[in-house]
Amino acid sequence: MSYTAAIVTVSDKGSVGEREDKSGPALRAALEGLYDVRETIVVPDEVDIIAQTIRHLIDIKSIDLILTTGGTGVTKRDVTPEATKLVLERELPGFAEIMRMESYKITPTAMLSRAISGTRKGSLVINLPGSPKAAVECLGFVLKAIPHTLDKLQGDTTDCAALRENQ
């Protein structure tokens, strides 16, 4: 099954053209050939705008995978996790746990990430760091779990043990 994706870069400066978005294009390149990337959007660090964008991509555009990049740190303007929580039906903490754990092996500041992941309807939302390098690395840590997650969210009832035996 082919899944759709959208990338939402969260950046005050990027949203007004003061900074070039490098994370969105880097993530698009990382998804090349794996997902049909329908949109790459840049929004400001505003809870309502981020939440509205994610809702629109899922509820109106029926995008399967939403990747956000940026706004997951500890500054006052880093509000992506708060916005994401507003739209999720269920959190999937394992994605963020693995990203933090593996990133920590590269840099100790990875523990500052407040990224979250979860589901809305049949879609998966994953918060990624704002740095292009870190965003692509973190996506790489969880990439193999995404198709199975989307399969399950969209109704696949195949037993997980049977999948492991066939790998």
Hey, which CATH number is domain 4-165, 1.10.530.10, 3.10.20.30, 3.40.980.10, 3.40.930.10? 3.40.980.10
Pairing of the two strands 65-69 and 123-128: parallel
Residue indicated by tokens 């690395």: 137
Give the pLDDT band of residue 1 (cuts 50, 70, 90). Answer: low
Based on its alpha-carbon atoms, the radius of gyration of the chain, rounded to whole angstroms, reads: 15
Task: Quote the pLDDT of residue 27.
Answer: 98
pTM metric for this prediction: 0.94
Domain ranges of the chain: 4-165
Q: What does the pLDDT average to over 92-116?
A: 97
Task: Quote the pLDDT of residue 158.
Answer: 81
